[in-house]
Structure 1
Amino acid sequence: MQIVLHIGTDKTGSTSIQNTVFLNRDWLAARSVYVPVTGLGEGNGHSRLFRNFTDEAQRALAREVRLASDRGYRQVLISWEGLASFRFGRRRIRALRAALCGFPIHVVVYLREQAEIIQSGHLQQVKRNRNTLRIRALEQPRTPLERVRAFIALNNPNRNYYRLLRRWQRCAPGSTFAVRIFDRRQLVGGDVVTDFLGALNICLDAGFVQARPNYNESLDVEGALLIESLQQRLEYQADMVTLVDLTQSVINLEGQSTKHFLSESAVASIRRHFRRSNLRLARHFMGCDTSPFEESGNCWRIESLAAIEARAAQLSRKVDALRQIPTLMAEAAGGDIAAMVDLRQGWCGARPWGVWSSGDESRIRFRVYRHRLLQEIGSLRLLVAGRYYGGNRQTHVQINGVDFGDQVLTPGGCELEIPVAALHANEVVEIILRHHQPISPSVLEGGRDIRALAFGLERVGYVLLRKHR
């Protein structure tokens, strides 16, 4: 039996590979590839296994490896992006090797040209709200401290791929290595998942479940510049997750603008810095005498940073407009409803228990977090529940154009499900409630209250449902 160790480097399709492995664990098992469940996550491989890699986790992994061997599996597949970090040091590599019970290790790793990955990786760090050097300071440092930080960032030792693999080779002697370049022109079928399955000697067939593409979406430079500016303002810091989600939503709807922020001279400097280590990588691990990135294309900006910053200002206005539609995490209830969703038409003032409808038609609008839809989600189950007034017992419901007819909207009364594809632009949900017999308390009970009431909204929200339940 062989251990296949996928060392995921960032922005090389690792998330797509790991989601595919999670969705197709049984399919892989039927082809004699065992994926350990210890520490396995949906979109991050064996992250939970390796983050601490305690003695108990090592013993649990060893038990699964022995079980796979006893059952006659051909391969055991383990994957995590953190294995590429120098923080996963020699001691941990040796501990992992011990937990793998002496079985031969085959390392599969995808690599991306350094000048490209340093830029896309920086955009990813901005998206994750990490404390990074700002793009302008990275590209045009002014102070001595900025120049030092920029030099370290642009010549990041973690991008020395030869040192990375040599460390694994020394700590796990006897391991074999399959080094693949993340370039669609060089991948089997132009797709990293197909290429990775080929590395396992597996071909796609009818039973394979395709994962949704673009699990790890990228900001463009304009989006990163906007996020950087928002991160500097105290009033936005508590809301950065939502602001990043809004920005990504606008970018994905309109298309990416600028991918690169470094100048041509900065890119040339990075390539000179890593040229020697890339040649050593090619000779030692790839069996060739030329740099694996000889055919790398242009990855520098073709205009001034000021021009890109002007587009970032335009993007800011679009994000601010979209922000007027609340983004709902899961559910709003009682007196919080009016603040957490957009009661855009046909509602009275909020009460501690919720809000009464007003007139013949009421509308509710909110956004769903885009980043939560990037997992294997197929549909949303909508919750609309409350109380009725007068002789009203049912409500006609329409959600994003899907007509559900008359429904009883009391607690536990109905389930309303729409596919993800039915979401409006920017992941917006719009619920239209049509009331049959609105009536005012002045008519029913006497007094001066002339509001036309029918339905009192007490809870509204949603649950995300997987495609494969």
Structure 2
Amino acid sequence: MKLTVHIGTTKTGSSSIQTFLAVNRATLGQAGILVPISLGKELHLRAPLASLPFGASSDLAGLFDMATPEAHAAFRRNTVAAYRNEIAQAPECREVVITSEHLHSRMPKRVDIERFKDLFCSEFSSVRVIVYIRPQLDQITSLYSTVLRGGYQNSLDDFVRSRMKPEFRPYFNIRHIIRRWSGVFGSENVFVRPYKAVSQKDGTLGDFCELLDLDISGSEWQVPDNANTSINQAGQNLLRLVNQEKSATARLRKQVVKWVEKNSAGRGEQPSPDLARAFQRGFNAGNEWVIKTYFPDHPEYLEPRWPA
């Protein structure tokens, strides 16, 4: 039995992959692919949380009963036991799929990736790690729509400046992400997929299904609409205003987010040109290594969309 681990990165179509895997879980099982529900219904959040030490990612850990070291240890034991039992109950499956962009965003230390490997990746005939990458400026511009959904109140330029601090560099540094995971699983088992190239073909979902040897053109497959799409500038302005309104309830914010997602899809606000170049410049050296190593004939894969 093989294992495929999809680690994101963020804003590269991860939500569309996860929604597809969730709604087609039974059909995938018939095709020999297990998407473990023991790790999460769509996003496999339990895997990174079980791999992290107690106290890490407290915002996500708060979704579960992990308030003490003992509760965290029990969460880890129970998660791993349920995962391994689910695999044991599906001996006919040829492949297991784990998908969570938090494996990239919340695990910047190699020791956490090693713990993830020990807990969830043992006893497979092979393990491959799939990572989709895009220019950092494109990523953070798209990420702005996501943080506004979560309540962020400030402008895009404020958001970009806040993410230029040293503690956020591992989140965006593609070379470091690749090297961290290659250091644990081997460079031959880390597959780097350029978001710009796959978007021009069948999209991230189509590319991921091709990697799984799946033809999803048949009527037995449910192909959902793209999830977590970018929001246009008018929608972003509305979300920012609602987030700044102290009297707005969580219910109202949720309703506004749903309305904006339905009615305001599109290209959102762009950062100021000087700030955009300053942000992207911090990753030039690493990106040159990525281009030289993985697609030397296509440097445009990591060329960002510069603002006017």
Q: TM-score scaled to structure 2, two decimals?
A: 0.78
SS state at 2:116 partner:
helix
Q: Which has the larger radius of gyration?
A: 1
The reply on whether 1:195 has 2:230 as its aligned counterpart is no
Instruction: Provide the secondary structure at the position in 2 that maps to 1:77.
Output: strand
Structure 2 counterpart of 1:164: 177
Instruction: Establish whether residue 214 from structure 1 lines up as the match of residue 226 from structure 2.
Output: yes
Give the equivalent residue in structure 1 for 2:58: none
Partner of 1:357: none
Taking a change above 3 Å as real, the CA distance of residues 283 and 56 of structure 1, as seen in their structure-2 partners, is farther
CA contact (8 A) 2:27 2:220 kept: yes
Higher strand proportion (structure 1 or 2): 1
Q: CA 1:95–1:157 in structure 2 vs 1: closer, same or farther (change >3 Å)? A: closer
Residue 363 of structure 1 is matched in structure 2 by none
Instruction: Give the Cα–Cα distance (whole angstroms) in 2 for the partners of residues 160 and 34 of structure 1.
Output: 31
1:291 equivalenced with 2:299 (yes/no): yes
* Corresponding position: 1:151 with 2:187: no
Match of 2:130?
A: 108
- Residues 218 and 287 from structure 1, CA distance in 2 versus in 1: closer, same or farther, beyond 3 angstroms? closer
| Structure 2 unaligned blocks of 5 or more | 52-75
**Using the alignment, how far apart are the partners of 1:172 and 1:153 within structure 2?**
26
User: 1:76 maps to what in 2?
Assistant: 96
Which has the bigger relative contact order, CA under 8 A and spacing at least 6? 2
Structure 1 residue 221 displacement after superposition: 2.9
Q: Which residue of 2 aligns with 1:227?
A: 239
CA distance in 1 between partners of 2:273 and 2:204 (Å):
28
- 1:177 deviates by 1.8
- How many percent identity over aligned positions? 23
Tell me: CA distance 1:173–1:55, structure 2 relative to 1, closer, same or farther (3 Å): farther
| 1:50 and 2:31 are equivalent in the alignment | no
- The answer (yes or no) to whether the contact 2:149–2:239 under 8 Å persists in 1 is yes
Q: Which residue of 1 aligns with 2:255?
A: 245
3-state DSSP of counterpart to 1:106: strand
Contact map agreement 2:198 2:207 (CA 8 A) in 1: no
Q: 1:411-426 alignment to 2 at 5 Å?
A: none
Aligned length: 282
Q: Secondary structure in 2 aligned to 1:3?
A: strand
Q: Take 2:168 and 2:278, find their aligned partners in 1: how far apart are those partners?
A: 9
Report the 3-state secondary structure (helix = DSSP H, G, I; strand = E; otherwise coil) of the residue aligned with 2:198: coil
Q: Does the aligned pair in 2 maintain the 1:282–1:292 contact within 8 Å?
A: no
Determine the C-alpha separation between the residues in 2 that align with 1:267 and 1:88: 24
> Aligned residue for 2:71?
none
* Mapping for residues 319-358 of structure 1, pairs under 5 Å: none
In structure 1, C-alpha distance between the alignment counterparts of 2:265 and 2:168, rounded to whole Å: 26
CA contact (8 A) 1:41 1:48 kept: no
Q: Cα 1:270–1:247, aligned 2, differ >3 Å: closer, same or farther?
A: same
Deviations 1:187-222 (A, max 9, x none): 474332221110112222424322321322433233
Aligned pair 1:62/2:84, yes or no? Answer: yes
Per-residue Cα deviation, 1:127-171 (whole angstroms, up to 9, x for no partner):
1114x65435457xxxxxxx6x36329974311111012111212
| Alpha-carbon distance between aligned partners in 2 of 1:291 and 1:49, rounded to the nearest angstrom | 34
- Residue pair 1:162, 1:281 contacting (<8 A) in 2 also: yes
Deviations 1:61-91 (CA, angstroms, capped at 9, x unpaired):
23444554xx243211111121111436433
2-structure distance, mates of 1:299, 1:289: 21
The whole-number CA distance in structure 2 between the counterparts of 1:173 and 1:19 is: 29
Give the structure with the larger helix fraction.
Answer: 2
Q: Distance in 1 between matches of 2:198 and 2:299?
A: 14
Please say if residues 8 and 81 of structure 1, whose CA atoms lie closer than 8 Å, have aligned partners that are also in contact: yes
Deviation at 1:18, TM superposition (A): 0.7
**1:80/1:247 CA distance change after superposition, 3 Å:** closer
Structure 2 CA distance for partners of 1:164 and 1:172, relative to 1, 3 Å: same
Matched position secondary structure for 1:124: helix
Maintained 8 Å contact 1:38/1:57: yes
* Matched residue, 1:318: none
Contact 1:129 1:240 in 2 (8 A): no
Code of the residue aligned with 2:118 in structure 1: it is A
Query: Residues 242, 112 of structure 1: CA spacing in aligned structure 2 closer, same or farther, 3 A cutoff?
Result: farther
Cα shift at 1:276:
1.3
Residue by residue, what CA displacement relative to the aligned partner does 1:279-305 show, whole Å, maximum 9, x if unpaired? 222344x25365362554x342x4xxx
SS across alignment from 2:182? helix
Q: Does 1:98 align with 2:110?
A: no
* Residue ranges of structure 1 left out of the alignment (5+ in a row): 140-146, 303-469
> Is the CA contact (8 Å cut-off) linking 1:161 and 1:277 kept in structure 2?
yes
Is this contact kept in 2: 1:231–1:240, CA < 8 A? no
TM-score normalised by structure 1 residue count: 0.53
Contact kept in structure 2, 1:278 and 1:292, CA below 8 Å: no
Shift in Å, 1:245: 3.0
